Chains A and B, each alone.
Chain A
Amino acid sequence: MSPRALLNAAVAAALALGAAAHAESEWTCPSGFAGQTLSVYNWTTYIADDTVTNFEAACGVRVIYDTYPGEDDMLARMRQGNPGYDIAVPSDRVVAIMIEEGLLVPVDLDLIPNWGNLDPTFLDLDFDPGNRYSVPYQWGTLGIGYHVGRVGFEVTSWMDMFTYDGPVSWIEDIRAMMGSAAVAMGIDPNTGDPEEIDAIQRFMIDHGSNVVYINQDDGQELLLRGEVDIVVEYSGDIFQIMDECECDDFAFVIPAEGANFWVDNLVIPVGASNVPLAHVFLDYLLDPVVAADIANYTAYGSPNQAAVDAGLIDEELLTNPGIYPDAETEERLFRVLQDSTLEQRYNDAWDELKIFVGR
């Protein structure tokens, strides 16, 4: 065997070993970025634990990774002036606000070869026609997580939660939370009618005596600690604790009346300090293996069709109706539509009702 053949065999063996252990990403970093820094601002528990370190290793860069409990916090910071973040992850509604207020840098799709991996269903949506500013990251629903044993019955609807006799936690996601109450009442979740918004507010105060805490996207922790029996949370956060505890204590349900369905998007905020590297990171996140790792870790829906087709996403996630709802459930999902004239009205109603909920 010639030295070259020997080397080839060794490489082949190493590759086979690698493939057996774990699907390795074939993504390669464009050259010229070594030593640079990228700042990422994301939701909590919303990326695989090795995504960032792998990117740092592949490109030889340093990543500053910060998290926010709710996107209103992120938005407030960006409005006061971006402190230097290159990537943020707003939902569809907030993407619309940020485009309207000129807070986003256009995304250059030519710099993102992996763009073609995305499912066209998630492209060219109303909040950003032609995806000029945003790249779909993950999607999910806002539903109910609960402790099966403590609650003692199968929760199927928002009314089950609103009338529950025991500690409950709502989430500080104003439009989605009030929209959920609206669908429970049979009102349009995007209503702009002041009387209907008042009615939602009254309904939530009347049905809010069991609310002990309004969580900042940390509802799954309250559930895990036993502090509340029922929590309003984003789907993946509940599936994450169901997966971690390896028990049958918890369940997630998309309520019968309907639920908020959202798409979170990767954007580059105005004031970003390294726009070229931000594009490299966007391309990296759209790699099928990377996207599948994130989806498998966070238990949210992935818009990465290539990852799904290649069988990289765990089967149990793909068949979970709480993550990938069936067609009948999809009918009941609603999106929160951005309307800047309504933002303040909903905020005011929420601030007022918060004073009167609880015991």
Chain B
Amino acid sequence: MAWLVLFFLLPLLFVGVASFMTRGAGGQPIQPWTLDHYQRTFDVFGPVIWRTLGFAALTTALCLMVGYPTAMYIASRQRPAVRLVLLFLVLLPFWTNFLVRTYALITIVQREGLLNEWLVRLGLVQDPVQMLFTPTAVVLGLVYGYLPFMVLPIYAAVERLDRRYVEAANDLGANDWRAFWRVIWPLTLPGVVAGSMLVFIPAIGAFVTPDLMGGTGGLMIGNLVQSQFRGRGNVPLGSAISMVLLVIVFVGVLVYARWGERGDP
């Protein structure tokens, strides 16, 4: 508890207080109190907030589209050893530093990278396509980075699923499609919500991926926070943006608490 106060609540309090103060010499917060930084956050950086939410939502959706079938596939393997190996493969990228993986992805999508080389060689495009430093690159990087966080909770939910429910549904005349939507999907929903939150929340605060892969079109709210603290040293504005980010994340956590845990079989 003391640990939580010291390393979480106290810094949070500093950030919260600083966000209502005026920017002084060297960017340090000074009196008097002001709401200017919040006004600026919404008026000027509003487009970036919306863009960030869009990126995070798209990342979550894509992770779900790829992650759910993957988890289903792994869970439905008969032999435990095979399941274990497949799960291990999902986790394997974590053994490599995130920066290294991002740079590896950059070498693939850059203008003179592998992907463009193949596209040109296969005659699909005339000139290399600009892929790096686009919003697409950011979402690709985020999906790549956070996909395991989606697969694992869904896998846990699918594995806990009692097969006999599905058999019972089939016996009662439900086709596979109907059995999925009426039985499997509702029973695995907590895993879906948990996985979605585990992707959505860190994706909102991401700054390494947009920094390296986003360029001007992929600027996210995390980059704004970082540049205020690092380069500019504008502590109050950085704090205000952080607080807004925090509230957005908090709403996400509430959603998780409300729907994520409920309905566990």
Complex contacts, A208 vs chain B, CB 8 Å: 216
Interface size band for B: 20 to 34
Whether a CB of chain A sits under 8 angstroms from the CB of B229 is yes
B230 touches A76 (CB 8 A): yes
Given A225-B110, A351-B227: A76 in contact with B44 (beta carbons within 8 A): no
Identify which of A72, A79, A355, A358 contacts B215 (C-beta below 8 A).
Answer: A358
Q: Which of B133, B224, B230 has the most CB of A within 10 A?
A: B133
Instruction: Given A167-B130, A351-B44, A355-B48, verify A213-B215 contact (CB < 8 Å).
Output: yes
User: Chain A residue with minimal CB distance to B47?
Assistant: A355
Set B25, B215, B231: member contacting A76, Cβ < 8 A: B231
A-side interface residues, number (CB < 8 Å): 28
B217 close to A359 (CB less than 8 A): yes
Q: Are B231 and A352 in contact (CB under 8 A)?
A: no
A212 near B233: Cβ-Cβ < 8 Å: no
Is A344 located at the chain interface by the 8 A CB criterion?
Answer: yes
Interface string of B35-56 (1 = CB under 8 A from A): 0000000001101100000000
- Say yes or no: B110 contacts A351, CB within 8 Å: no
Structural contact, A73 and B231, CB atoms closer than 8 A: yes
Chain B: which residue is nearest A208 at the CB level?
B216
* Chain B residues, CB < 8 A from A75: 233
* Contact between chains at A79 and B217 (CB < 8 Å): no
312-336 of chain A: CB within 8 A of chain B: none
B170 to chain A, nearest CB (A): 51
For the complex, what is the distance from the CA of A80 to the CA of B27, rounded to whole Å? 10
User: Please, which residues of chain A bring their CB within 8 A of the CB of B83?
Assistant: none
CA distance A354 to B112 in the complex (A): 26
On chain A, the residues within 8 Å of B70 by CB distance are: none
Query: B178 near A: Cβ within 8 Å?
Result: no
B134 cross-chain contacts in A, Cβ below 8 A:
359
Residues of B contacting A226 in the complex (Cβ-Cβ under 8 angstroms): 110-112
Could you list 17 further interchain pairs (A-B, Cβ under 8 angstroms) beyond the known A70-B231, A75-B233, A358-B217? A76-B232, A80-B233, A167-B130, A167-B133, A212-B217, A213-B216, A214-B216, A225-B110, A225-B112, A226-B112, A227-B132, A227-B133, A351-B228, A354-B216, A355-B219, A358-B216, A359-B217
A-B contact pairs, 8 of them (CB 8 A): A72-B232, A79-B27, A212-B215, A225-B111, A227-B112, A227-B133, A351-B44, A355-B48
B-binding residues in A (CB < 8 A): 70, 72-73, 75-76, 79-80, 101, 167, 172, 208, 211-214, 225-227, 340, 344, 347, 351-352, 354-355, 357-359
| Top 7 A-B pairs, shortest CB-CB distance | A358-B216, A72-B231, A213-B215, A226-B112, A212-B133, A76-B233, A358-B217
Interface residues of B (CB under 8 A from A): 23, 25-28, 44-45, 47-48, 110-112, 130, 132-134, 215-217, 219, 224, 227-234
